Amino acid sequence: MSATTDNTALITAEMVDLDVQATTKDEATRHLAELLVATGRVSDLDGFLADVRAREAQMATGLEGGIGIPHCRSEHVTVPTVGFGKSADGVDYGAADGPAHLIFLIAAPAGADSDHMKILAALARRLVRQEFKDNLRAASDPAAVADYIRTEVTP
Amino acid sequence: MKFVAVTSCPTGIAHTYMAAESLEQSAAAAGHEIVVETQGAGGAERIDPATIAAADAVIFAADVEVQARERFAGKPTVTSGVKGAINNGPALIAQAEEAARSAPVAATAPAGAPAAAGAGGGGPELASKVQDGDSWGTKFRQWLMTGVSYLIPFVAAGGLLIALGFALNTIAVGDQGYLVTEAPPVTEQFSVTSLSDWAALCFQIGGLAFSFLVPVLAGFIAFAMADRPGIAPGFAAGAVAVAVNAGFLGGIIGGLLAGAIVMWLKKAKLPFALAGVWTVVAIPLIASFAAGGVMFLILGKPIAAAMEAMTSWLEGLSGANMVLLGVILGLMMAFDMGGPVNKVAYFFAVGSLTTALDSGTTTGLQIMAAVMAAGMTPPLALALAAAVRPKLFTPSEQQNGKAAWLMGASFITEGAIPFAASDPLRVIPSLMAGSAVAGGLVMAFGSELQAPHGGIFVVPFISNPWLYLVAIAAGTAISAALVIALKSTKRAETQLVQAETAAGIPATV
């Protein structure tokens, strides 16, 4: 996990937006998905968003503590990737205690091997650690955020 | 304490692992050990069975079915969705502590041993159709259906082997030689080249498998009511029902009795040290004695007496009006589908057959033919009804309907039980009408049958085989039409009646 240009890294600076302006979860998810399309991680924006919505329809992905984790396994994803956004006003992802300020768009390829899944599993585990969330809330530089997340999930 | 947990969510890439992490953190914070199995998209690494055995409680944080759940059977269990574990891990750990404390037996008993009833007590390893929170009427039906679902494989295996034995023996020896029922035990005589010995082998294995019917029914009715501690008392009560000739109905009553006794015994509050011995040893012992004793001393004799009375009444009829006798035997064959009434009719026919073969008369042969036809129509009629109007039947009934073709063709009336048990008020009268017609017609046609079993496989050896098939077809068509007509009537009304009928029964045991 070295350069930010690595085209298999879980996240790079281009996939981070620390000032998401969207106000609905559909808009916010679409905005982050566009970042993944721009970096070549998602091949078909609308197909991918449909897969995310299908997952979202099963059960809202908002979590207590201001977290939203829209996610899916999709044929339109080429590499396991996470897009990260911060919203000052918050976006409602259906959590009981209010809108999400930290949004993780987790994209998994449909047939990912277990090594890839381990990275996503490691990311998911970090999401329930207070320290991890606090550090991200405090972060102000997209490159630093991407580096931090990559370092954390490296086995 | 030591806990094990399984986490599982629909996509398997996020919540599964978040829930696992949350549980691990919460357990560590509370000073407990926990091993979590993440059943996610990356595949699950199974928890070591020794770890499960040593665990004080199990946590399922899952939004989809937990795989291989039976590994955790008997452990105190706490269940939640994945979000519950993520958002409030400490509360779930606290619940697991509570469950472990209120079911102390799990900590000392061997792995897989039943836990005492407690908050969220472990689910049974064997599948039961019982769901919590249903009304007594629904529960009663679920108890019977659980028993019946374990009974059916015994009926199929045993009954078909018996029929195969008859068919092979008929091919081997024809009308000459001994009947397969009189064959010496295969332990004394068996030659690989002798077809009649193979027939005897089939018949004798089938007979032994068949002898489990009533105990299995009773055992698994009691299991449905009271989980695994109910199995032994249920089997014992069922075996006593057989010993006192109380048959199918006796088995149901015995199973309900054993289940109720175990349910009651499980409520006992016991000192910590006694709890393990209580569930594994004392409950089976006490409940088997009590249920078996009641069946032997109180309930068995009245049923046996009623059966004797019926047999002598039927003997009086056979001289007077053969068609009427055929109708009555038909009604009996369908009334309880393999139960005591059915068996009275069947054994009456077998007795008449034996007399007829000895004396060279034909009355007994006709009675046997009528009884077999009447016993074949109930499963055939339900198979037909389920094939014609599948929407009137549940998915499992539709499956049973396919098997019922073979059951009916093989003269295994028990194939109709799953349908009758779930909807007795509409199914049983319909079946009785068709069987009565079949029995009466066979008598009118004068068909004669020399074997006591065999179904469709022995029809070629029956006199007037085509008319015999006509009688079966007529009875089948009538029953199927009635079942369809009655099932199409208002559902709510009948269910209310059923619930009222059923609600009285647990109270009497």
| CATH number of the domain encompassing residue A54 | 3.40.930.10
CA–CA separation, B20 vs B7, rounded Å? Answer: 6
Q: Side-chain half-sphere of B337: how many Cα atoms within 13 Å?
A: 31
CA–CA separation, B371 vs B411, rounded Å? Answer: 10
* Residue B424 belongs to some domain of the structure: no
CB-based contacts of B481: which residues, under 8 Å, 6+ apart? none
Q: Which of B7, B18, B26, B88 to mutate to test the interface with A (most CBs of A within 10 A)?
A: B18
**Band of the pLDDT at A112, cuts 50, 70, 90?**
low
Name the residue facing B18 among A117, A118, A128 (closest C-beta): A128
CA–CA separation, B364 vs B214, rounded Å? Answer: 28
State whether the Cα torsion B400-B404-B406-B410 is positive or negative.
Answer: positive
Instruction: Indicate the range of A14-18, A57-61, A117-121, B115-119 predicted with least confidence.
Output: B115-119
pLDDT at residue B150, rounded to an integer: 82
Average pLDDT over every residue of A46-56: 89
Instruction: List the one residue out of B86, B108, B165, B446 whose CA is nearest residue B279.
Output: B108
Q: Is pLDDT above 80 for B472?
A: yes
CB pairs < 8 Å spanning A and B:
71
Percentage of residues in chain B having pLDDT higher than 70 = 84
CA–CA separation, B446 vs B281, rounded Å? Answer: 57
Percentage of residues in chain B having pLDDT higher than 90 = 28
* Residue B37 belongs to some domain of the structure: yes
- Reported residue count of chain A is 155
Q: Is pLDDT above 50 for B505?
A: no
Name the residue facing B18 among A58, A73, A124 (closest C-beta): A124
Name the residue facing B42 among A96, A117, A129 (closest C-beta): A117
CA–CA separation, A87 vs B474, rounded Å? Answer: 76
The helix (H) or strand (E) run that includes residue A101 is: strand A100-109
Q: Is pLDDT above 80 for B115?
A: no
Of the two residues B340 and B258, the one the predictor is more confident about is B258
Name the residue facing A121 among B10, B38, B87 (closest C-beta): B38
User: In terms of CA atoms, which chain B residue is nearest residue A63?
Assistant: B87
Summarize pLDDT for B184-231 with one digit per residue, the tens.
Answer: 888 888 888 888 899 899 989 988 987 888 899 899 999 989 888 899
Q: What pTM, to 2 d.p., does this model score?
A: 0.48
Q: Is pLDDT above 80 for B234?
A: yes
CA–CA separation, A116 vs A78, rounded Å? Answer: 11
pLDDT at residue B254, rounded to an integer: 92
Q: Which of chain B's residues have a Cβ under 8 Å away from the Cβ of A122?
A: 17
Q: Is pLDDT above 50 for B122?
A: no
Question: What is the phi-psi region of residue B439: left when phi exceeds 0, alpha when psi lies from -120 to 50, beta otherwise?
Answer: alpha
Summarize pLDDT for B83-98 with one digit per residue, the tens.
Answer: 888 888 888 898 888 8
pLDDT at residue A32, rounded to an integer: 93
* Residue A57 belongs to some domain of the structure: yes
CATH number for the domain that contains residue B70 = 3.40.50.2300
- Beta strands B33-38 and B57-62 are unpaired
What do you get for the CA distance between the two ends of chain A, in Å?
Answer: 11
Number of domains in chain A: 1
* Residue A22 belongs to some domain of the structure: yes
b/e per residue A64-86 (b: at least 16 CB within 10 A): ebbbbbbbbbbebbbbbbbbbbb
* Residue A41 belongs to some domain of the structure: yes
pLDDT at residue B220, rounded to an integer: 93
Angle at B80 between CA B9 and CA B28, to 5 degrees: 95
pLDDT at residue B319, rounded to an integer: 66
- Look up residue B484 and give its two tokens: 């369809």
**Band of the pLDDT at B245, cuts 50, 70, 90?**
confident
pLDDT at residue B116, rounded to an integer: 34
Say yes or no for a CB contact (<8 Å) between A128 and B22.
Answer: yes
CB of A57 less than 8 A from some CB of B: no
Say yes or no for a CB contact (<8 Å) between B42 and A114.
Answer: yes
Say yes or no for a CB contact (<8 Å) between B14 and A71.
Answer: yes
CB of A10 less than 8 A from some CB of B: no
* Residue A8 belongs to some domain of the structure: no
Identify whether the C-beta of residue B40 lies closer than 8 Å to the C-beta of residue B8. yes
b/e per residue B150-179 (b: at least 16 CB within 10 A): bbbebbbebbbbbbbbbbbbbebeeeeeeb
Say yes or no for a CB contact (<8 Å) between A124 and B13.
Answer: yes
Residue A106 phi, psi dihedral angles, 5° rounding? -100, 120
Q: Which of chain B's residues have a Cβ under 8 Å away from the Cβ of A117?
A: 13, 40-43
Work out the minimum CA distance from A106 to partner chain B, whole angstroms. 8
Identify whether the C-beta of residue A105 lies closer than 8 Å to the C-beta of residue A39. no
Average pLDDT over every residue of A100-108: 92
The helix (H) or strand (E) run that includes residue B34 is: strand B33-38
Q: Is pLDDT above 70 for B235?
A: yes
pLDDT at residue B103, rounded to an integer: 65
Task: Rank A24-33, B34-43, B176-185, B207-216 by mean pLDDT and report only the highest.
Answer: A24-33
**Band of the pLDDT at B144, cuts 50, 70, 90?**
confident
Average pLDDT over every residue of B226-242: 92
Name the residue facing A120 among B13, B20, B43 (closest C-beta): B13
- Look up residue B18 and give its two tokens: 């978040």
ipTM score:
0.87
Helices A114-127, A142-153: inter-axial angle, 10-degree rounding: 110
Instruction: List the one residue out of B368, B454, B463, B455 whose CA is nearest residue B169.
Output: B454
Instruction: Indicate the range of A79-93, B208-222, B304-318 predicted with least confidence.
Output: B304-318
Summarize pLDDT for B53-108 with one digit per residue, the tens.
Answer: 888 899 999 887 777 777 887 788 888 888 888 888 888 898 888 888 876 543 33
pLDDT at residue A155, rounded to an integer: 64
Say yes or no for a CB contact (<8 Å) between B87 and A124.
Answer: no
* Residue A45 belongs to some domain of the structure: yes
CB of A129 less than 8 A from some CB of B: yes
pLDDT at residue A101, rounded to an integer: 93
Q: What sections of chain A are H helices per DSSP?
A: 25-38, 45-58, 114-127, 130-138, 142-153
**Band of the pLDDT at B306, cuts 50, 70, 90?**
confident
- Beta strands A100-109 and A81-91 are antiparallel
Work out the minimum CA distance from B28 to partner chain A, whole angstroms. 13
The helix (H) or strand (E) run that includes residue B140 is: helix B136-173
Q: Side-chain half-sphere of B157: how many Cα atoms within 13 Å?
A: 13
Work out the minimum CA distance from A121 to partner chain B, whole angstroms. 6
Identify whether the C-beta of residue A86 lies closer than 8 Å to the C-beta of residue A17. yes
The 10 Å Cβ neighbour count of residue B375 is 31
Identify whether the C-beta of residue A89 lies closer than 8 Å to the C-beta of residue A24. no
Q: Which of chain A's residues have a Cβ under 8 Å away from the Cβ of B16?
A: 121, 124
CB of A110 less than 8 A from some CB of B: no
**Band of the pLDDT at B482, cuts 50, 70, 90?**
very high
pLDDT at residue A114, rounded to an integer: 66
Residue type, B155: V
pLDDT at residue B490, rounded to an integer: 47
CA–CA separation, B30 vs B225, rounded Å? Answer: 37
Work out the minimum CA distance from B16 to partner chain A, whole angstroms. 8
Summarize pLDDT for B15-26 with one digit per residue, the tens.
Answer: 888 899 899 989
pLDDT at residue B451, rounded to an integer: 73
Residue B316 phi, psi dihedral angles, 5° rounding? -60, -35
Q: Which of chain B's residues have a Cβ under 8 Å away from the Cβ of A127?
A: 14, 18, 21
Identify whether the C-beta of residue A106 lies closer than 8 Å to the C-beta of residue A69. yes
Identify whether the C-beta of residue B256 lies closer than 8 Å to the C-beta of residue B143. yes
CA–CA separation, B228 vs B365, rounded Å? Answer: 46
Name the residue facing B21 among A59, A69, A128 (closest C-beta): A128
Q: If you average pLDDT over every residue of chain B, what do you get? A: 81
* Residue appearing with tokens 């079911």: B103
Q: Which of chain B's residues have a Cβ under 8 Å away from the Cβ of A120?
A: 13-14, 17, 42
Say yes or no for a CB contact (<8 Å) between B11 and A73.
Answer: yes
Say yes or no for a CB contact (<8 Å) between B13 and A71.
Answer: yes
DSSP helix/strand/coil, B341: helix
Q: Is pLDDT above 50 for B460?
A: yes
Number of domains in chain B: 1
Summarize pLDDT for B382-391 with one digit per residue, the tens.
Answer: 999 999 998 8
**Band of the pLDDT at B437, cuts 50, 70, 90?**
very high
- Look up residue A104 and give its two tokens: 């993780």
Domain span holding position B15:
2-108
Q: Is pLDDT above 50 for B508?
A: no
Q: Is pLDDT above 80 for B509?
A: no
* Residue B369 belongs to some domain of the structure: no
Interface of A with B in 60-79 (CB under 8 A): 61, 63-64, 69, 71-73
CB-based contacts of B365: which residues, under 8 Å, 6+ apart? B353, B356, B357, B448, B449, B450
Summarize pLDDT for B252-290 with one digit per residue, the tens.
Answer: 889 999 999 999 998 877 666 676 678 788 899 999 999
* Residue B269 belongs to some domain of the structure: no
Percentage of residues in chain A having pLDDT higher than 70 = 93
The helix (H) or strand (E) run that includes residue B307 is: helix B300-320
* Residue A6 belongs to some domain of the structure: no
* Residue A2 belongs to some domain of the structure: no
Say yes or no for a CB contact (<8 Å) between B86 and A63.
Answer: yes
Domain span holding position A103:
14-150
**Band of the pLDDT at A129, cuts 50, 70, 90?**
confident
Sheet holding B77-80, edge to edge: B33-38, B2-8, B57-62, B77-80
DSSP string, B68-105: TGGGGTTS-EEEE-HHHHHH-HHHHHHHHHHHHHH-TH
The helix (H) or strand (E) run that includes residue A108 is: strand A100-109
Q: Is pLDDT above 70 for A137?
A: yes
Instruction: List the one residue out of B141, B146, B129, B166 whose CA is nearest residue B412.
Output: B166
pLDDT at residue B506, rounded to an integer: 36
